[in-house]
């Protein structure tokens, strides 16, 4: 999704047996394979695994979603919903890719790319 190789780095990993409750802020990128309940702010890209669960608002630069999200997603850049993704919430992004066999229940508004998520 990103043209800058440094933007694709993952600084934080939430493993499949991990659950986090409360607001969570990540400077850099994150790979989510576990569960987060609360507001999640990511300065770069979030990648969610197919068994992940996020319950709460997500603000990021870009998102690649393969798991379940129950909440609104605000991305300054693009959002990609991969095969099997389940999103129950509204999307605000500058670009959207939806692969086959996704479930999306909400509204999408396309905004001009700004390079950073509004927090």
% of the chain beyond a pLDDT of 90: 82
pLDDT over 80 (residue 58) = yes
pLDDT band at 114 (very low <50, low <70, confident <90, very high): low
pLDDT, residue 111, reads 82
Q: Looking at the whole model, is its pTM more than 0.75?
A: yes
pLDDT band at 3 (very low <50, low <70, confident <90, very high): very low
The DSSP secondary structure of 78-94, one letter per residue, reads EEEE-TT-EEES-EEES
Q: Residue by residue, what is the 3-state secondary structure of 39-52? A: CEEECCEEEECCCC
């Amino acid at each position: 999704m990103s043209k800058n190789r440094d933007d694709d780095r993952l600084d934080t990993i939430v493993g499949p047996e991990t659950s986090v409750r409360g607001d969570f802020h990540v400077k850099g990128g994150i790979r989510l394979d576990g569960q987060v309940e609360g507001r999640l702010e990511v300065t770069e890209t979030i990648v969610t695994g197919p068994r992940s669960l996020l319950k709460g608002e997500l603000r990021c630069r870009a998102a690649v979603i393969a798991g379940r999200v129950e909440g609104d997603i605000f991305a300054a850049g693009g959002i990609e919903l991969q095969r099997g993704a389940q999103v129950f919430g509204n999307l605000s992004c500058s670009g959207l890719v939806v692969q086959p066999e996704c479930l999306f229940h909400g509204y999408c508004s396309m905004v001009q790319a700004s390079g950073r998520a509004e927090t």
